[in-house]
Chains A and B, each alone.
Chain A
Amino acid sequence: MTPAAAEERSAWADASLAASLFSVDPVGLGGVLVRAQAGPVRDRWLGQVRGCLPPASPWRLVPCHVTDERLLGGLDLAATLRAGRPVSERGLLAESDGGVVVLAMAERLSASMVARLTAVMEAGEVVLQRDGLSTRSPARFGVIALDEGLAEDEGPAAGLVDRLALHLDLAGIGLRDLGNLGEDPEAVEAARRRLPGIDCDDEVREALCAAAMAFGIPSLRAPLLALRVARAHAALQGRERVAEPDVTAAARLVLAPRARCLPAAEPPPEEDEAPNEPPPPEDGDAGSEQPEPSPEDLQDIVLAATQAALPSDLLARLRLAEGGRARASTAGRAGAKRQSKRRGRPAGSRRGALGAGARLNVVDTLRAAAPWQTIRRRDAARRPAAPDRPARVLVRADDFRVTRFKHRSETTSIFAVDASGSAALHRLAEAKGAVELLLAECYIRRDQVALVAFRGKGAEILLPPTRSLVRAKRSLASLPGGGGTPMAAGLDAALALAESVRRKGQTPIVILLTDGRANVTRQGVGDRKQAFDEALVAARRFRLEGLVALVVDSSPRGDVSAERLAAEMDARYLALPRADAASLSQAVRAGQADVQPRL
């Protein structure tokens, strides 16, 4: 198929192709990231993948709240007690060896879970060092990460996404688009056998590397994965050698979804005039002109193929990220999310009775009981009423050990900064300075920070919750001032962010820096009175939600409106008459310390 034909492919055709490619080489390709809500389309796609895999291969669903024990394996208590010696139990990952692991709600997986999973993917085996067991078991599998994130900044951890070759978005596909385009299992099976013999020219590698770089993809895994996809594609098409269509398919499926910027050779698109204009459409015929591709041509073809498949909102996203090339991790939904909910830290175990939510620490209980076995058995035998078959392990009530957990809830400070013209006139620079000092404070406390700015017609999340202060500082420094004050929109955005933080089990604190002069309504219309009324309504929701908030008034002589806002929010109010950055920070710090006990 030529690139021109490729352009006409429907999203479902691509999804089907991805399903087949993945089934050809699930381990090599790492996996597929599927962004879609649960529904018939996703089920159909999963069914197609399953149909192409060998019928006997494992297919394991991993829920997002899986414990280490189930994921990696551990001690099998029942068997251990029966056998009188430690018996290990395989975890989900070891059970999936040679098959597929499906991650339900992958966007909710904790960072530590993702790290465990990727370590196993990397090593191809589960190295278990738990519960007195030390084992290795092979675990080579493909991953299907089901990403049900709704918001742009919701997505699985970047470390996982980076290792999955194929990224699909099934959102735009309707039921009527579904045709049976999948390969039949025999063809996939044949391709799987053919795969090890597929050869590939050096130009292909070069072209894929060049394209990955031109599109600002920092990770070197991307061209490697693209190469494997090209091989799988060639195998599927019955070729011996990777050819141009294979490379274009790989570029479209692997590189395009990862693109962070447009190739530098292209004239930079005018962002101001038409931010949502699709990428230049002249790329379709680039391939058909050259029947015998030379290395440079192949590079061009790959570039064109990638570009043709770029998501249409790439430009908008790039604009949001402001120079996405330099900031490798921020653009796109993949890198935006930082999961950091700490699991409760097991603080050892103690002797205790069961019940009331106490979790029995099996291993420690066994350990407590273990040394006494010989003695207890002797005792038991001596007693007249001894049962015929004594239990293998004699556990008594005072052996029971329950796990103690220390749970530390993390704090996320959300800075909502009024960057309007009036605030800029007053002391945006000082407010920025204060925020920076506060950021340093957050660093010491290992808090996360997030940044919401509102000016002109609306609010935007400049920085999703992160622990990287350098990023926070950078996005703050590049925050321009000017325009109206859409206070209600700013409050709404901060509130939404605070709620999402809370859903992750962390404690949000909102710090609003403003002069209180709302003058733009939610509709983006300039109307001072209505804007202020809307702001008050938005502020009241803070009180209803019981959010801890702090209003820092940056107007020159303390403003009544900011104070009223603070009262509506049930927030602490700090007027800052002629304060410099340092004293401002001190004031806010005092306020922060004040709100801490309420957490």
Chain B
Amino acid sequence: MPLAFPFPAIVGQDEMKLALLIAAVDQSVGGVLVFGDRGTGKSTAVRALASLLPKMRVAAGCQYNCDPDVLAAICADCVQRDSKGEVKARQVPVPVVDLPLGATEDRVVGALDLERALSEGVKSFEPGLLARAHRGFLYIDEVNLLEDHLVDLLLDVAASGENVVEREGLSVTHPARFVLVGSGNPEEGELRPQLLDRFGLSVEVTTPDDLKTRIEVVRRRDAFERDPEAFHAAWKRREGQLRRKIVAARKRLAETALPDSALERAAELCILLGTDGLRGELTLTRAARALAALEGDESVGDPHLLRVAPLALRHRLRRDPLDEAGSSVRVERAIAELFGP
């Protein structure tokens, strides 16, 4: 795997970086969708995330990345080994799994292990990408071009947190909880509403339009391409700082208070915007809490809600396909109305 562009070295695109950091702190916010212009560093940011994230503990030898400390989420394999006291913990990088376009269903959900079936005549299950992504990130570039049958499948798994495989006489269920990260260009097509709803946060990225930023982007990218190692070394410290910040925020998350006033605010905002369902409020408060934890604040307040509201709500509004102003503007208007200038 070639070196990825360091996360802190990405110029601008603060909203996108914020959304990814929030998802890194609290995986339960439920995915990040990045939509925007070509060449704005969408995939660069996601790939950079892989090397930024702190390592995680897994049960050694488990093909589903089970957490050795949480017995509830453990797979059948691990339960068996656990009863014999054989589960050993191991530090591994958080998986950021690419779901390439053109992937076939059997590789995504997992299927009969061809090799063993052919050579040994044994029916065994070979886990797919969903298993690999468990407790990590599943990244789909050009998510709006993903074939429909794969979308259906993802929807199902993302909703239940479990991957149920019933095929070729195999019957396997394994945990598959991951942060879905999708990116795409809106001009290539719309996203199905059901899939859109699965993403907790949505980000709109645009090309920076001031010259200074643009020059800085080109300068850093050029420096990175000329000598990736040196560029990495130069940013190592900043990356380390950010990593420690994520670790600290994760620890703080449980203690970060979510006062009733904040819940009320969130509910008011959602009612004003007329978002469907409760997912909007849930995501909004969760993301606000993750942000508060990230910034080292003790409880969630208006400033946190304000910053994450566009991310958490803009894709949940009843969409008027012809409303040119776009959802971001509507969220901003509602915020201004509710929180005052």
Contact = CB atoms under 8 A, between A and B. Distances in A.
The answer to whether A and B belong to the same complex is yes
Given A366-B118, A439-B322, A470-B324, A130 B219 contact: no
Contacts of B149: 345-347
B14 interface: no
Interface in A159-190: 159, 162
B86 interface: no
Contact of A439 (B209, B219, B321): B321
Nearest to B107: A129
Taking residues whose C-beta sits less than 8 angstroms from the other chain, chain B's interface range is: 35 or more
Contact of A223 (B119, B120, B214): B214
B217 interface: yes
Question: Which of A84, A129, A345 has its CB near the most chain B CB atoms (within 10 A)?
Answer: A129
Interface string B155-182: 0000000000000110000000000000
Interface in B108-137: 108, 111-115, 117-121, 123, 126, 128-129
Given A129-B108, A370-B114, A223 B102 contact: no
A131 B147 CA distance: 16
Given A205-B219, A219-B39, A345-B147, A85 B118 contact: yes
B112 A371 contact: yes
Interface stretch (B53-61, B63-71, B184-192, B239-247): B184-192
B103 A130 contact: yes
A116 B106 contact: no
Contact of B2 (A124, A206, A377, A446): A124
A61 interface: no
B281 interface: no
A374 B121 contact: yes
A119 B187 contact: no
B296 to A, nearest CB: 33
Given A159-B38, A220-B39, A221-B38, A133 B217 contact: no
Interface in B315-341: 320-322, 324
B221 interface: yes
A162 B106 contact: no
Interface string B287-303: 00000000000000000
A389 interface: no
A68 interface: yes
Nearest to A206: B215
Given A221-B38, A468-B187, A345 B148 contact: yes
A426 to B, nearest CB: 23
A131 B104 CA distance: 6
B324 A474 contact: yes
Interface string B85-108: 000000000000011111110111
Interface stretch (A208-216, A243-251, A484-492): A208-216
Contacts of A329: 187
Contacts of A218: 37-38, 207
A373 interface: yes
Contacts of A158: 38, 187
Contact of A129 (B120, B129, B211, B225): B129
A132 B126 contact: yes
Contacts of A208: 218
A220 B104 contact: no
Interface string A311-351: 00000000000000000110000000010100101110000
A340 B189 contact: yes
A570 B178 CA distance: 55
A202 B107 CA distance: 46
A377 B118 CA distance: 12
A302 to B, nearest CB: 13
Given A86-B115, A202-B219, A436-B322, A127 B100 contact: yes
B117 A370 contact: yes
A557 interface: no
Contacts of A446: 190
B145 interface: yes
B187 A338 contact: yes
Contact of A373 (B117, B225, B322, B324): B117
Contacts of A202: 219
A346 B102 CA distance: 12
Interface in A114-132: 115-116, 119, 122, 124, 127-132
A539 B134 CA distance: 60
B187 A373 contact: no
A473 B121 contact: no
A68 B147 CA distance: 13
Contact of B118 (A86, A219, A346): A86
A36 interface: no
Contact of A367 (B37, B103, B111): B111
B41 to A, nearest CB: 8
A467 B103 contact: no
Contacts of B207: 218-220, 328
A224 B186 contact: no
A119 B38 contact: no
22 contacts: A80-B118, A84-B118, A86-B115, A112-B101, A115-B145, A115-B188, A129-B100, A200-B222, A219-B37, A219-B39, A220-B207, A220-B214, A221-B38, A222-B39, A223-B214, A338-B187, A367-B117, A368-B168, A370-B117, A373-B118, A468-B186, A469-B322
Interface of B: 2, 37-41, 43, 98-104, 106-108, 111-115, 117-121, 123, 126, 128-129, 141-142, 145, 147-149, 168-169, 185-190, 207-209, 211, 214-215, 217-219, 221-222, 225, 320-322, 324
Given A129-B99, A131-B107, A219-B38, 14 more contacts: A72-B100, A111-B145, A133-B107, A134-B107, A210-B211, A220-B40, A223-B214, A347-B149, A366-B118, A367-B117, A370-B117, A439-B321, A468-B186, A474-B324
Return the 3 tightest CB-CB contacts between A and B, nearest first: A374-B121, A370-B117, A129-B103
